[in-house]
A = this chain, B = another copy of it.
Amino acid sequence: MDNIDRELLALLQADATQSYAALGEAVGLSSGATHERVRKLRRRGVIRRTSVDVDPAAVGKGVAAFVMLDASAWMGGEETAAALAALPWIEEAHIVAGAASLMVKVRTSSPEDLQAVLRRLHEVPGVTSTQTVVVLETFFERPLDPRGDSPRDQERPS
């Protein structure tokens, strides 16, 4: 994982339809060498998959919300994960430390559907209460920058 790999990841995040020739030119490598590096990034699991980014509003998921769930007893990890994964309106689910036990991100077509999903979340075994934060406007959602510097450094040189 050198700087060329990180640069390739950033370029592929921005546009994965580019040819290896174009990618190679951007990082100063031949098409073949570039392809070989990307193949290794895939095999090592650094690149998990190539995907398309779909506009949520265009597929009837224009309403987003974060829901914090409290659990009474300790919820079996596997079991809870499966119950949440079965609800297709849940985009992410995490175990968290803080006020709540679980944090999930939900997308629905309307506030009414959001309410229906909340009702279903209350039916998940172990869930005792929910606290919902509705998204009014999204500033941005973007891929992580692989060229990571540390926030403890003074000023980032652009």
Enumerate chain A interface residues (CB-CB to B < 8 A): 1, 6, 9, 12-17, 44-56, 58-61, 64, 66, 68, 77, 80-81, 84-85, 87-89, 91-100, 103, 107-109, 112-113, 116-117, 120, 131-146, 148-152, 156
Contacts and interface: CB of A to CB of B under 8 A. Distances in A.
A158 to B, nearest CB: 10
A85 B13 contact: no
- Count of identical protomers in the assembly: 2
Q: Helix, strand, loop or mixed for chain A's interface?
A: mixed
Nearest to A142: B91
A68 B54 CA distance: 26
B109 A50 contact: no
A140 B92 contact: yes
Contacts of A56: 144
Nearest to A97: B134
A15 B148 CA distance: 26
A17 B39 CA distance: 13
Contact of A68 (B6, B77, B95, B133): B133
